[in-house]
Structures are given as C-alpha cells and as structure tokens.
Structure 1
Amino acid sequence: MLERLLVTGAAGGVANLLRPRLVGVSKKFRLTDIRHFVSTSDSDETVIGDLADSAFVDQLVQGCDGILHLGGVSTEQP
C-alpha cells in the first residue's frame, strides 16, 4: 500500500468515479486540478494548480510515492 498517491485531474468525471475505489491503494491522497473542486473525503489533501507550471509540479510530487495522472484538456466537438 502506498503512503500518498497523487491524483491529477481530480475535478474530472473519471477521477470522481475512481476515487472511492482507491481506498485500498493508498493511506493518503493528494488531489489536484487546475479548477476548484471539493473532495469527498476530509482526509484528502487538495491542491489547485496548473500542471504546465514545472515549479508547481516539482512541489506537488514531493512526498508522493505514486501518481495517477488523469489531468488533461478535453477538446471534444460534435
């Protein structure tokens, strides 16, 4: 089991579906997205920021022993 898992794209639909199922994977979670979001667990650490900012990412990954990268920009069009 991981000590702390970083989940990017935490405001998105995939992260919202997966987060409850990750309970047995890690003791703690650091959730991040570029837009504001609310975690479903009081024990989650939430961080708002841009993954295009390398200084932000360097700080974000500190203390994490796993990353689930779900962040991205959707450009879907009909």
Structure 2
Amino acid sequence: MSNEKALSLNQDSYVIGLKQTTKALLKHEVRKVIIAQDVNIHILSKVLTVAFETDVPISYSPSRQELGSHYGIEVNATVVALLK
C-alpha cells in the first residue's frame, strides 16, 4: 500500500496491537479482528477468547509484515481491530 493510501485510512476506525485490540474488544467497540497468520496462537489467547465471546468476526492476514504495511506502519503488526 502506498503512503497516500495509508494516510487516507481513517486512523480512528481501527487500532493496532494486542493491548489496544483487547481494550477495544472489552468495550464492545470492535466490528472485526484481523490476525496475522504467522503469529503463535498462544499470544492471542485473550483476544481470541473475547472475540468469540462477543461474536466478533475474525479474518487473517498472510503475515505480520503485510498486516503492518497494510495499515500504514513500518513495523510488523500481530493483530488489528476494525472499530464500529
């Protein structure tokens, strides 16, 4: 994704990372969770548990690098939460 496209994304419409995703899930602010496929599943246990309990759909990105890049950050991203 080009920098222009990344900047055009509304930064208020998603959060990146385990802590921010977990917080948003617990507040029932998430409409969808995107998880990188190259992450150890035990790292995501809390996110997965809350997502399943609140019926939030989960989709997958091929890699942490691709997920981070897609959302306009220069580092790898484990999980992204799309907000309501």
Q: TM-score range by the shorter chain?
A: 0.3 to 0.5
Normalized per residue, which structure has more helix?
2
TM-score, length-scaled by structure 1: 0.38
TM-score, length-scaled by structure 2: 0.36
Normalized per residue, which structure has more strand?
1
